[in-house]
Amino acid sequence: MKVLEAAFLKGYARMATDGFLQGWHERNGGNFTYRLKDEEAEAVREDFSENAPWQRIGWQEDDHSVFPGLAGEYFLVSGSGKYFRNIETDPAANVCILQLNETGDLFRIVWGLTEGGRPTSELATHLANLEVCKERDPELRVVYHCHPANIIALTYVLPLDSRVFTREIFEMATECPIVFPEGIGIVPWMLCGGQKIGEATAELMKKQDVVVWAHHGAFCCGRDFDLAFGLMHTVEKAAEILVKVMSMSAYKLNTIKPDQFRELNAPFGIRINEDFLYEKKDGRIGCMPEE
C-alpha cells in the first residue's frame, strides 16, 4: 500500500486541516507527531526508502538525545517551517515518516518531505513526550501542539498554577473533568525548541494529557486523532467560555461546586484529581487555593 492511501495518513491530514480551520495554526505554527502501529508501518513498507542518512536527534546542534523507549519505531511528523493548511493538499511535501534506530538515538526519513526540509524543530520534544506517554499507556500515539487563542489569552490573566488554571477551566464545562480528570499542566514561558521546555513538558505528560505553554500554546496527547483533537477542542472551548465570563465580570455568581464535581466520579468511571477541588473563599475568578 502507498502511504498516501493509508488511513493513518488521511486521519493525520484531516486533523491538520481541522486545526487550521479552528485558527490554531497561523503561518507555520504548530507541530504534530503520530507513532505508527507496527501493522501500519508494515502495510506501507513498500513505499519507504532506506537511503536517507541517519541523523542525530537533539534539541541543539551538538546535542545527542536518546529515546530508548521508542527504538526502532516509525513516526509521522510535520515538517519544520511547513504550513498546516498545506498538509492535506500535499502531505508528501509537508510531512515525513521517520524511523528511529535500534538504540533510539538516530533517525532517518523514510518517506515524505519530497521538496526538502527537516522534521519539526520540536522533534526532540515530541519524542520525549511520546516516550513518557507510551510508558503510561502503550496506545498513546498522538502528540499535538497548536496555538489556540483563548487558552493563550488566559495565560496572561490567570495564575500560572496548574490547580487554579485547571479548576477555572473545569468550571466552564461539565465535560472537562470527565475528559481530562488529571487536569492541565502549566509550563511557564521558556524558549521554545529547547531542551528545558521539552523536558518540562514531558515531565508533566507523565501524568497529564494537556500541557499549556504560557504565552505560546498548548500540547496534548491521545490514543488516536479523534481523541487528541477532541481534547484540545474541549479545552479551547472551555477557555473561550471563560474569556467571555471574564469579559463580563471578575466574579462568578453561579458555578459548579467541588461536591458537584465529585458526583461525576462514579457514573463516569473517573477519579477527578482532588488537587483541583479545593474550597474557594468567594467567586473571584483565578483566586489561589490558600487565599
Residues designated as active site: 122
Question: Whose Cβ is closer to Zn ion: residue 214's or residue 277's?
Answer: 214
Residues 30-49 that bind Zn ion (CB under 5 A): none
**What are 107's strand-pairing partners?**
55, 100
Q: Which three cell numbers mark 33? A: 507527531
Q: CB of residue 125 vs Zn ion: minimum separation in angstroms? A: 10
Q: Which three cell numbers mark 120? A: 519539526
Task: Supply the DSSP symbol for 53.
Answer: P
Q: Which three cell numbers mark 106? A: 538516530
Q: CB of residue 221 vs Zn ion: minimum separation in angstroms? A: 16
Give the burial class of 247: count Cβ atoms within 10 A of its Cβ; 0-12 exposed, 13-18 middle, 19 or more buried. Answer: exposed
Under rule CB under 5 A, residue 222 binds Zn ion: no
Question: Whose Cβ is closer to Zn ion: residue 29's or residue 286's?
Answer: 29
Q: CB of residue 173 vs Zn ion: minimum separation in angstroms? A: 25
Residues 12-31 that bind Zn ion (CB under 5 A): none
Q: How many residues bind Zn ion (CB under 5 A)?
A: 1
String of b and e for 136-150 (b: at least 16 CB within 10 Å)? eeeebbbbbbbbbbb
Q: Which stretch binds Zn ion (CB under 5 A): 1-9, 82-90, 97-105, 213-221?
A: 213-221
Q: CB of residue 213 vs Zn ion: minimum separation in angstroms? A: 7
Q: Which stretch binds Zn ion (CB under 5 A): 80-88, 179-187, 200-208, 215-223?
A: 215-223
Q: Which stretch binds Zn ion (CB under 5 A): 110-118, 200-208, 211-219, 234-242?
A: 211-219
Q: Which residues contact 125 (CB under 8 A, 6 or more apart)?
A: 59, 193, 197, 198, 201, 202
Q: What is the full DSSP assignment across 109-178?
A: EEEE-TT---B-TTHHHHHHHHHHHHHH-TT--EEEEE--HHHHHHTTTS-S-HHHHHHHHHTT-THHHH
Sole residue written with cell 488554571 = 165
Question: Whose Cβ is closer to Zn ion: residue 181's or residue 185's?
Answer: 185
Query: Is there a contact between 132 and 205 (Cβ–Cβ < 8 Å)?
Result: yes
Helix (H/G/I), strand (E/B), else coil: 115: coil
Q: CB of residue 98 vs Zn ion: minimum separation in angstroms? A: 20
Residues 234-263 that bind Zn ion (CB under 5 A): none
The angle at the Cα of 69, spanning 63 to 71, to the nearest 5 degrees, equals: 75
Among residues 79, 217, 235, 277, which is the contact residue for Zn ion, using CB under 5 A? 217
Q: Which stretch binds Zn ion (CB under 5 A): 124-132, 174-182, 212-220, 221-229?
A: 212-220
Q: CB of residue 31 vs Zn ion: minimum separation in angstroms? A: 7
User: Where on the chain is the footprint of Zn ion (CB under 5 A)?
Assistant: 217
